């Protein structure tokens, strides 16, 4: 990632949004003209149950400063139970990642329904602030080899 001055540094945050709820929630935030920080880059996934924790690790290794994973509220999963399984996976993965020294606040999870445009804007606001407070990702970034 390119070097930037500390004062004008803006975090890059990758957001994995489920197709049925959170992605539609983001869309609603957009069409409702709600303001939220432009720091997120969205990847649409079929269901939060599709999240492989390897996606999160790959994102961090490739230099993003924060990750947000968002899906349907418990009970609202389009596939009935995808988010329940996801919740267990995320619990374990988040604990392990933080145990091994990745800062709390790099990886976030949320439930945002298709009707919660305002909540989506608010979640992005919170996540951006938390990642900003941590500063640029330093530890778990794989350095590119310099070729002269």
Helix 117-134, helix 22-31: angle, nearest 10: 100
Examine residue 144 and tell whether it contacts other proteins (CB under 8 A).
Answer: no
Q: Which of 1, 80, 92, 133 binds other proteins (CB under 8 A)?
A: 92
When the beta carbons of 16 and 93 are compared against other proteins, the nearer one is 93
**Looking at beta carbons only, is 24 or 127 nearer to other proteins?**
127
Q: Whose Cβ is closer to other proteins: residue 8's or residue 99's?
A: 99
Q: Which of residues 51-80 bind other proteins (CB under 8 A)?
A: 53-54, 57-58, 61, 74-75
- The yes or no reply on residue 111 touching other proteins (CB under 8 A) is yes
User: What DSSP line would sit under 42-86, residue for residue?
Assistant: EEEES-GGG--HHHHHHHHHTT-SEEEEEEPPTT--TTSSHHHHH
Reading the block at residue 64, the tokens are: 């993003």
Contact region with other proteins (CB under 8 A), list: 4-12, 18-26, 31-39, 86-94? 86-94
Cα(71)–Cα(41) distance, integer angstroms: 16
Residue of the chain from 10, 76, 118, 126 that contacts other proteins (CB under 8 A): 126
Q: Which residue, 8 or 11, has its beta carbon nearer to other proteins?
A: 11
Residues that bind other proteins (CB under 8 A): 53-54, 57-58, 61, 74-75, 81, 84-85, 87-104, 108-111, 123, 126, 139-143
């Amino acid at each position: 990632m390119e070097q930037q001055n500390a004062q004008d540094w803006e975090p890059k945050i990758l957001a994995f949004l489920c197709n049925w709820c959170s992605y539609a929630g983001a869309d609603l935030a957009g069409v409702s003209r709600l303001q939220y920080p432009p720091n997120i880059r969205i990847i649409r996934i079929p269901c939060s149950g599709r999240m492989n924790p390897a996606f999160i690790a790959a994102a961090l290794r490739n230099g993003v400063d924060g990750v947000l994973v968002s899906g349907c509220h418990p009970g609202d999963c389009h596939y009935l139970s995808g988010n329940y399984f996801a919740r267990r996976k995320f619990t374990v993965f988040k604990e392990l990642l933080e145990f091994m020294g990745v800062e709390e606040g790099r990886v976030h999870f949320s439930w945002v329904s298709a009707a919660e445009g305002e909540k989506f804007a608010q979640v992005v606001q919170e996540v951006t602030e938390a990642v900003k407070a941590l500063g640029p990702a330093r530890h778990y970034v794989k350095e590119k080899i310099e070729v002269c």
